[in-house]
Structure 1
Amino acid sequence: MNEIIVFPFLLTAAFLCIPCSGDQFTAASRADRFISLFSVVRFKNSMCSGPSGLSGTCYTYKSCVKNGGTSSGSCADGFGTCCVTQLGCGARTANNCTYIESPNYPDYFNEARTCVETISLNPDTCQVRLDVTEVNLVGPDIKGDCNNDVLKFSQDIKWTQVCGITENTHFYLDVDPTVSSTLDFTFTTDGTSYSRRWRIKVSQICCDQLSMAPMGCGQYFTSTTGTIKGWNSQGKPDYYLSGQNYAICLRQELNTCSVM
């Protein structure tokens, strides 16, 4: 059985997409534009929220659209656009805080197909965080093997296969852009009659960021209460998946010395 473990720590409501770098462009100031005086405007590619409630990253409009994002409101005092990126089958992007989604999400689909969604990694990215809204695929057999539907990652060795039903949790992948500059998510579904869909927010984490999880940690919790949920923890039955090799890590909080 794939147990849901509850212990006392509080999860933050959303993981912030922390920038590895910033955008810049040349703009004329309003006061001086008629005498052709220009200045360089720099701003951080920080997290923002669009009207739909989805998270985005503050980019220039040109950078956003170039990498497949959609402008969803302004940011950086109007110099940037809140770029929300939703990636479908066969697409790729370098935008941070990208949502990889099943065909026509939130609709379900019922067919055999192979769906590859690709994230181009920034050169200084060491980890990728997956915030899973839901992954709903045909579940494993009693041995935990994904013989029907399966999700595989092109980098990281913590999971050789993923299937079943997983909702509202997170995972970390260790990646190395010097080995491959991309991270592929390959969803393969078979002809089994089943209502499938998925949405995962993918956030790149730079090597020098404090938000990095310790290497080898598939999940990393940084507050004082909450719930640990693994892959297929909402499956019926919730069989533990085979081919898993990762640690669940808890950061020691100030003035604490144990977990209950």
Structure 2
Amino acid sequence: MGKARNLIVVLWWYLAGGTVICKDIWDVRNNIERLPRVLNFFPVPIPEECNANDGRRKGICMNTYECRMEGGKSYGFCAHGFGVCCVFTATCNDEISNNSTYFVNPDFPDLTSGMTFCSSTIRIADEDVVQLRFDFVHFNLGQPNRRTGVCEEDVFLVTRGDDVQKNLVLCGLNSGQHAYFDVGTADGTIKISMNMSRRAVTRLWEVRITQIPFSQRAPTGCLQYFEGTSGTIKTMNFAENGRHLANQDYNICVRQDEGACSIAYEPCHEDSFRIHPNRDGTTDEETGSGDGEPRQSDDCNDRITVPCDSEDLLLTDDELQEGILAHCETTHCGGSLCAGEEGPCRIESTVTPFVIGVHFGENVRDVSPEDNLGMCLNYEQLPCNV
């Protein structure tokens, strides 16, 4: 009992930053040398997310011993020094079982070339997990077919069992994007596959995979879920000399802030909205999208949809005097987000929840890639009028 009491005193003195200036019969110096190993077994009360000391990655706060045994690497301290920020990485043929794991190409941070296949299995850690979130920190694969938008040569594929309709399929440049994937009734494992062509293309990927419990899930049907008063929304593979992907049908959702009653969208720049409008292969760059005529909706094979109400369309006094009725156009395509606007424009919606639908159909070979760049929009939530 006396030895244990001496160790407790030494431990508290050590943690307080004190200096031991004497020894007792139990050799205090040797005990202090053992203290770091003792502290390794002190449990971190709650394994929370932490910021790595590289200023870039995120990890899980746990004690040093657990981090090492789980195959992670410590990046600085957390929990007031009782834990370390443990970062997990995985690459081809690895099983991913830890939350907040970075799936990287074999040569990361260098580019990888010459490989044709890479796969990994995600093991769901807890029965409360209902979604996976993929944050594409770096994602640079081969581009889709320029004419059709189909991922043919390089394909990033996430699958769960035999449910093909729920697969996530991507290619091209998607750094900075994210996606949610429903775990569903999978057998506890999700598979990631990277199918790559033999072309001399250099590739780079760093994908953070987070397992999301039911209490923190994104709304049902939202492939992307944004939080914050303002932000930027892009379709997949929105890049210079790129084009939007074919066979995309998903929702982009924005969490409604407290005190916000509407949301505004406007293009990031004058060329940031190009979605080919017509099924017959013709393009009208003057009218663009949302011209208020039913014809426009019928012509939009590839399109985005923004729920709105007629009150969202503000008319000038002259238009009101002429008896023009406010018409809410939910479907947008073409060379402009708004009707008759050659430059940037702005649309507002009071419909909640805040959702943008992305609907890109099957490939159309007679369409110019330049007319199918995709969409980049800045959004801003607007406060309620008091």
TM-score, normalised to structure 1, is 0.78
Paired letter, 2:92:
C
Mapped contact 2:43–2:63 kept (Cα < 8 A): no
Q: Which runs of 4+ in 1 moved over 6 A?
A: none
Contact 2:228–2:255 under 8 Å retained in 1: yes
Query: What is the match of residue 226 of structure 2?
Result: 221
Show structure 2 runs of 5+ residues with no match: 1-6, 12-25, 27-40, 265-386
Deviation readout 1:10-61 (Å, 9 max, x if unpaired): xxxxxxxxxxxxxxxxxxx834989xxxx98451111112222221101233
Structure with greater helix percent: 2
Q: Does structure 2 retain, via aligned residues, the 8 Å contact 1:115–1:188?
A: yes
Check conservation: 2:44, 2:62, Cα contact below 8 A: no
The Cα of 1:152 is off from its aligned counterpart by 0.3
Decide which of 231, 237, 261 is 1:232's aligned counterpart: 237
- Provide closer, same or farther for how the CA distance between residues 252 and 148 of structure 1 changes in structure 2, counting only shifts above 3 A: same
1:117 lines up with 2:120 in the alignment: yes
> Partner of 2:241: helix, strand, or coil?
coil
Q: What letter corresponds to residue 194 of structure 1 in structure 2?
A: V
Query: Does structure 1 residue 104 correspond to structure 2 residue 82?
Result: no
In structure 2, the CA distance between the partners of 1:235 and 1:67, relative to structure 1 (3 Å rule), is: farther
Is 1:161 aligned to residue 169 of structure 2? Answer: yes
Match of 2:8 among 22, 30, 39: 30
Match of 1:51 in 2: 53
Give the whole-Å Cα distance in 1 for the aligned partners of 2:50 and 2:176.
20
Aligned residue identity for 2:158: F
How far 1:158 sits from its partner (Å)? Answer: 5.0
CA distance in 2, matches of 1:136, 1:117: 18
Amino acid at match of 1:115: C
Aligned to 2:157: 152
Q: Which residue among 226, 233, 254 is the counterpart of 1:250?
A: 254
- Give the conservation status (yes or no) of the 8 Å contact 1:167–1:234: no
- What secondary structure, in the 3-state scheme, does the structure 2 residue paired with 1:179 have? coil
Q: Report the structure number with the largest CA radius of gyration.
A: 2
Q: 1:103 to 1:207 in 2, by over 3 A?
A: same
Q: 1:72 aligns with which of 55, 72, 75?
A: 75
Q: CA deviation at 1:160?
A: 4.5
Asked if the contact 2:98/2:125 (under 8 Å) is kept, the reply is no
Letter paired with 1:215: T
SS at match of 1:63: helix
Q: Counterpart of 2:197 in structure 1: which amino acid?
A: D
Asked if structure 2 preserves the Cα contact closer than 8 Å seen for 1:47 and 1:56, the reply is: yes
Q: State the one-letter code of the partner of 2:91.
A: G
Q: SS where residue 45 of structure 2 aligns? A: strand
Q: CA deviation at 1:136?
A: 0.7
Shift of 1:213: 0.8
The residue identity in structure 2 corresponding to 1:197 is L
The Cα shift of 1:108 comes to 1.0
- RMSD of aligned residue pairs (Cα, Å): 2.5
C-alpha spacing 1:202/1:59, structure 2 compared with 1 (3 Å): same
Q: Give identity over the alignment, percent.
A: 34
